[in-house]
Amino acid sequence: MAAEIKALPSSKPTKTTSTDKPVLVSRIEGSGDDIHAAVLLNEGTGVISISDDKSVRIWQRRDSGQYWPSVCHFLPSAPTCLHYLQDQMQLFLGLDNGKVIEFSVATDYNSINQTREYHSHQGRVSEVLHCPKAHWVLTASRDKFFVYHCTETGRRLGGHQCSGWCTALRYDSATRHTFVGDYTGQVTMLKLEESGAQVITVLKGHNGSIRALAWDGERQLLFSGSFDQSVIVWDIGGGKGTAFELQGHTSKVTSLVYGKSSHQLISGGEDASVVFWDMAANRQETPEWLESDSCQYCERPFFWNIKAMMDQKQIGLRQHHCRKCGKAVCDSCSSKRSCIPVMGFEFDVRVCDKCHSTITDQDLSGDNRKSLARFHEVKHSVVYMDLDEEMGLLLTVGQDRVMKIWEVSGLLN
């Protein structure tokens, strides 16, 4: 069943008047099972979706403004991820049984034809990417392996075993670097060659599983979204390992998309919200947390410092950290809270008393805590997103088995 929300006058969605919030254009329902992923087609006139009922569907927008399926193709196993190349009309589907199937899509979007099958994994495929320039198809799976095949011969070229389930994948065609996020919260950076994959480094910073990755190829920035409710920005191009956090969700971060022209990062989460992050703004690096056996201000011992507790004849305290300077402090010396948007903390976080006074002094000379993100409710828990930046359209897929298309051009300026 398809429900019309906002009928547009032409067969193609057109940009409406810019607003500072997403405008719901269409709502698509029609799957009796969970929808794992979906992508916008042909300037928003169509949508490809994959569902737990083992189907891949192509939805086309009719003159009435409603979306109806022109293709409903059932597979031997549930499709769990997809990658579609609009220019080449190629569709790659990763399946729950570990296989990857390549399809060619008809120019009228009324049929799809299978062209190749890859026996890639022993477990559920979590992400698939096609690299036309290198003629590779990259896949990551719950069997803990990342592998890549040649699309011309179907031959396996190489792979790498990660520390946990592979959950997210991104590729930079200019440098042939690949980033694989896993269930342990790590991101493995690989260099791919015809002869195999070489490990460059492992990025560690999250306290929860990686769920989504996004890539800014121009500035060489990697974005990782995690179940720990945060997004970390990694400066890959700088080569210094610098990173800063974006804290704006109250539940798991499940999807990331990046607008290359607008430099807007969009994150979606289980808190039924999407956050637009201004990545053109100057931001400060998140400090490393310092370790100490005693509070670095009042010098009272922490509870594991038994010797100091006995010498000073007092009970040990719990250790905390100031989010601004990273010092190890006790609760009494970090009783204040403050938001620090320039460091990505859009909500109030713990800061030491010294840093709090510094933040207060800065506010006297200007609005130094002005938000660098915009928050919007989308009325369903987001599991996947797709962005057509040129048309200013955002597609959200929810746990409620509904796909929503939003007009967001006003937020991409």
pLDDT at residue 200 tops 50: yes
pLDDT at position 309 is 67
pLDDT in tens, 110-135: 999 999 999 999 999 999 999 999 99
pLDDT computed for residue 4 by the predictor: 33
Average pLDDT, integer, range 217-237: 93
Q: Which residues pair with 301 in a beta bridge?
A: 294
Is the model more confident about 261 or about 282? 261
Q: How far is CA 358 from CA 43, 79, 222, 345, 354, in A?
A: 48, 52, 31, 16, 6
| Among the listed residues 99, 186, 183, 97, the one whose alpha carbon sits nearest the alpha carbon of residue 149 | 99
Tell me phi and psi for residue 212, to 5 degrees.
-150, 150
Q: CA–CA separation, 237 vs 150, rounded Å?
A: 27
Q: Record the pTM.
A: 0.85
- pLDDT-derived band of residue 14, with 50, 70 and 90 as boundaries? very low
pLDDT band of 2, cuts 50, 70, 90: very low
pLDDT at 369 over 80: no
pLDDT in tens, 21-47: 899 999 999 777 999 999 999 888 999
Residue 92 in tokens: 């790659």
| pLDDT tens column, 290-305 | 888 888 888 888 877 6
Joined together, the tokens standing for residue 227 give: 């179940």
- Which pLDDT belongs to residue 240? 62
Of 48-57, 86-95, 242-251, give the lowest mean pLDDT range.
Answer: 242-251
At 150-167, the pLDDT tens digits run 999 999 999 999 999 999
Average pLDDT over residues 354-382: 77
- What does the pLDDT read at residue 258? 96
pLDDT average, residue stretch 204-223: 94
Residue 277: beta bridge partners? 265, 373
Q: What is the pLDDT of residue 13?
A: 44
Please provide the average confidence, as pLDDT, over all residues in the chain.
88
